[in-house]
Structure 1
Amino acid sequence: MTGAKIRIITLRLGDELIELREYLNIQGKPIPSDSQSNDLWFQHLAIVVSDMDRAYAHLRSFSIEPISVTPQTIPHENKASGSVRAFKFKDSDGHDLELIWFPPDKGQDKWHQNSDRLFLGIDHSAIAISNTEQSLHFYRDLLGMQMDSRSVNWRATQSRLDNLPGAEVKITALRPVQGGVGIELLDYILPGKGRPMPSDWKSYDIAHMQIELVVNNLEQLVDKLRRNGVQFVSPL
C-alpha cells in the first residue's frame, strides 16, 4: 500500500518462521470478538510442544484468552489423529493459536527427536474452508502440495476443543512435497459453514493472516494460476 509505514519482526521457533507486521500509520479493523472456528476467516498456527501439561501450565501463567476448555485428547479410534493432544487459545490481538502434542506414532519425525525444548516448532496452519474438493483443487492440483491425511473429528472432544457445541469437522492435511509447514483444511459439517470473509477486509487489518510458500519457478506458477482463473490481490 502506498505510503504505509510497517514495522516487521521475524521470529523463529525451531525451523519455522513467523512474521509480525504492525502498520504504524493505518488503523486496521480488529478481528470480530465473536469469531468461531467455522467462520471462513478462521486460521490458526499449530505450535508443537514436547510436554502438553508443562506447556499448558506455562501458558496459564500469562494473560491469554482460552478457546478450549482444557487440553483435549483426540479419541484413539480416530486413525489419523488418535491420542493427539491439543489446546486452542487466542493471542493479544485475537489471532487463533493451538498447542499440539504428537504421540510416538503421529506427526513428523522431527517432533520426536530428543530435545530439552518445550516449544519445538510450527507443524501447520489450519484454515476453515467452504468446500473440500474445491480447496484440494487449489492447494493440491494447482500449488502441488501432497495429501498427508484425512479424518473426521467430532463428539464432545471436538466441541470442547473448539468451544463450538456439536462440532463435527472434516480435516484434510496437506504438506509440501519436500516437507515444511503443512496446511489443514477444516470443512465443518456441524454446525455448518460459518460466516464468509467480509469483502472489505484489507491486508492491513488485524484479521489478515497469510501463508508464504516458496516455489521453484514463480513465473510458471503465476501463469498456471491465471489460466485457472485465480485472482491476485497484488500485481505480479
Structure 2
Amino acid sequence: MTPFLKDYMEQNITGIQWVASEAWVTASVFSGSVYIPYLGGTIGFGIRKGSIPGLNNFIQRVTPHVYPGNLLVQELWQALYGCAPVTSAQSTELPLCSGNETLLEKHAAYMNTLSPRVAYNVYKAVYAFAHSLHNLFLCQPGAGPFENSSCAQSNNILPWQLQQYLQEVEFTIDGEKVNFDHKGDSIPYYDIINWQRGTSGNIEFVPVGLFDGTRAAGQELVINEDRIMWAGHQSKASSCSNCLYTFYRCQLLKFCRSWWR
C-alpha cells in the first residue's frame, strides 16, 4: 500500500471513498495528517480489539541482553536502531549496538498495547491451544474421543488429535467467550472502523459499528450511521442517485446488511 499511496498522493487524487480490507484498516503507518485529504472517511472491518494484562510492562523490559538467544528480539533491534546486538549470533554488516538502546514513544507501532487487535487474537489462540492440551491430557482411557474410545498419547500428540479438542474448546477471556462453530471456525466479531480527523490533526480509527456473530440472525450487524464521516468530510447524503459518492455509501450499507443475514 505504501508505494501505491505515495503515487496516489503525487497524482493529487481526492474525494475517493475507500473501503478498506482488514489488513490495513487499522494500520497506524497511514495515520499521519498528510493522509487526511486522501484517505479521510475510509471505512472497513477491523479485528476485534481487547486487552492483554501485563503486556506493556513486559514489552518495556524486552532487550537483547534480557533475551540473548531470541532471534525475534535481535531482528527487532536491527529494524528499530539499525544496529546488531552484541549478543547476536547472526552475521550482519550492521554496526554493533551500544547496549543503551531502549524502546521509546517513537516506536508507537510496537509500543501501543492499549487496545491490540492482531496481538489480542494471537493471545486468544495461545489460550485456545493451552485449554485444548489441558483437556487432551485429562482424557481417561476408555472414555476418549477417538477410535475404540481411546485417548491420544501424551508423548506423541498428532495434529488431528489436538484439532479434535480445539474445535470443542470453550472458555472466557477478558469477558469474551471463545469457542468454535460446528465447522471449526471461530465465531466472527468485527469492529466497523471509520477514519476521521482527530483533535491533533492525525487520523483516528473510530468505531462506528460492529458485527457480532453471536447475535440472532438479522441482528448481527450494527451500524451507527450518524457517527460516520465519509470522504470529503461529509456526514450525510440523501439518496443513491445523487452522486457517485452517495452510491458507494449506500451500496456499502446494503452489502453489509444482506451478506450476513
TM-score of the pair, normalised by structure 1: 0.23
Structure (1/2) with the larger strand percentage: 1
Larger Rg: 2
TM-score of the pair, normalised by structure 2: 0.22
